[in-house]
């Protein structure tokens, strides 16, 4: 079922989520279905969503690798390593602000590790390890941050790094 997105200020967005102990649990399956339904009803710019964003205290997220055109379900994801090399990406978040058109209204330049290794459990209960780089690494870090009670705006120490979507699109830069 499509769920309403929690907004900045919601206590669930500021706390570490609890780990899933049984991927076959009825509640876990419901959360996964709700995540998928909410993700699928989102705009074309959506590349990730996490359980706390739709009101659940569980370490589950969906992340889209736009280059590989693949959607990953990650349960209990943990970043095992991060490259020292950083990359800046423009990030937005449905929990930070959304306009009448359904698009995020506030975006920001965020520095993140260019390459990461993440360990997660898949829907079948298998523990997997994945290496990601570039934009997909940023997406994974953004969603894992949600599971740890952090929003992208917490990384922005200079208001000049915040951008309104209209200003961003006027520069002909595409997410």
The number of residues making up the chain comes to 175
Nearest to 139 by CA among 119, 171, 114, 103: 114
Q: Of the candidates 52, 130, 138, 37, which has an alpha carbon nearest to the alpha carbon of residue 94?
A: 52
Alpha helices in 86-151 (DSSP H): 134-147
Exactly one of 67, 104, 115, 143 is catalytic; which is it?
A: 143
Distances (CA, A) of 99 to 37, 61, 65, 135: 21, 23, 25, 24
d(CA 105, CA 94): 9
As a whole number of angstroms, the longest Cα–Cα distance in the chain is: 47
Is 91 tagged catalytic? no
Q: Are strands 70-82 and 48-50 parallel, antiparallel or unpaired?
A: unpaired
User: Which DSSP letter does residue 8 get?
Assistant: T
Report, as residue numbers or ranges, the catalytic residues. 143
């Amino acid at each position: 079922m499509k769920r309403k997105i929690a907004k900045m200020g919601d206590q669930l967005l500021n706390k570490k989520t609890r780990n899933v102990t049984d991927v076959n649990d009825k509640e876990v399956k419901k959360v996964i279905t709700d995540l998928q339904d909410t993700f699928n009803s989102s705009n074309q710019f959506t590349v990730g969503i996490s359980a706390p964003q739709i009101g659940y205290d569980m370490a589950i997220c969906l992340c889209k690798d736009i280059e590989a055109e693949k959607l990953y379900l990650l349960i209990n994801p943990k970043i095992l390593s991060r490259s020292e090399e950083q990359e800046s990406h423009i990030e937005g978040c449905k929990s930070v602000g959304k306009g009448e058109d359904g698009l995020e209204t506030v975006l920001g330049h965020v520095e993140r590790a260019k390459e990461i290794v993440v360990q997660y459990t898949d829907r079948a209960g298998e523990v997997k390890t994945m290496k990601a780089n570039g934009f997909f690494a940023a997406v994974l870090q953004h969603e894992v941050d949600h599971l740890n009670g952090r929003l992208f705006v917490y990384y922005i120490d200079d208001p000049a790094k915040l951008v309104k979507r209209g200003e961003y699109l006027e520069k002909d830069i595409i997410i």
